[in-house]
Amino acid sequence: MQEQHLIRIMEQTSFLQEVFHTCEGYFEHYYVGAGCITQSVWNVLCGYELGYGIGDIDIVYFDDRDHHGSEESLIEKNLEKELKHLNFSIDVTNEARVHQWYKGKFGKEISPYRSAEEAIDTWPTTASAVGVKKKNGVYEVYAPYGLDDLFKMIVRPNKKLIPKEVYDQKSLKWKRRWPKLSIEPW
């Protein structure tokens, strides 16, 4: 039931439809995920404008042949160009490469991911650990912690990777934008 509700929201969100359509030309297996999905749902639940509060569109995929990131950078540049009229930044991540830069950015060493799904398993909150893709008109939703927290507007930490400080910062920022959120303590 919740998955169908999520898909209906995706179908009524024109900018996400455009992102899905464009991604189909670049990826065999990908997800649009995290904030843009979560916040689109919260916007519908709160009666806000569909793009409200969304800073970027996160697109993840897995290609363990692109060791240097040249393909990842090219795809991101192309998608930014094709989708620039949407007024969201486009963040493309090859999850096969995250372990190469994660420590430098976040101060913690991580093991290489084996799939895009394994990466989504570590995203900061149970409500935002959601990826959606559309291929040939068919949606696929990956939500390792289910969709209850997302639709109940509960922000709960996913402690697999995120530090407390990042969770606190993220949840406070979201609470200011979506006051109806219930923030679970660390």
Per-domain residue ranges of the chain: 2-180
Average pLDDT over residues 29-52: 97
Mean pLDDT of 95-121: 93
State the Cα–Cα distance between residues 109 and 2, nearest whole angstrom. 35
Handedness of CA 74, 78, 83, 85 (dihedral sign): positive
The answer to which of 31-35, 77-81, 102-106 has the lowest mean pLDDT is 102-106
Output the six-digit token pair for 90.
């486009």
pLDDT confidence tier of residue 148, bands split at 50, 70 and 90? very high
Q: In angstroms, rounded to a whole number, what is the distance separating the alpha carbons of residues 24 and 132?
A: 12
- Name which of 62, 53, 51, 178 is nearest 112 in CA terms: 62
Q: What is the pTM of this model?
A: 0.94
Query: Is the pLDDT score of 107 beyond 90?
Result: no
3 state DSSP class of 133: strand
User: What pLDDT shows up at residue 74?
Assistant: 96
Mean pLDDT (whole number) for 123-131:
97
Q: Measured between alpha carbons, how far is 123 from 103 in angstroms, rounded to an integer?
A: 16
Euclidean distance between CA atoms 167 and 160, whole angstroms: 12
The predicted structure's pLDDT at residue 67: 82
Residues in the chain, how many? 186
Rounded distance between C-alpha atoms, residue 92 and residue 160, angstroms: 22
Is pLDDT of 124 > 90? yes
Coil vs helix vs strand at 26: coil
- 11: pLDDT confidence band, cut at 50, 70 and 90? very high
For range 84-101, the mean pLDDT: 95
Percentage of the chain lying above the pLDDT 90 cut? 90
Average pLDDT over residues 24-40: 95
pLDDT band for position 103 (50/70/90)?
Answer: confident
Q: Which two tokens stand for residue 146?
A: 């289910």
- Token pair 């393909």: residue: 71
Q: Is the pLDDT of residue 56 over 90?
A: yes
CA distance 113 to 95: 7
Provide the pLDDT for residue 104: 87
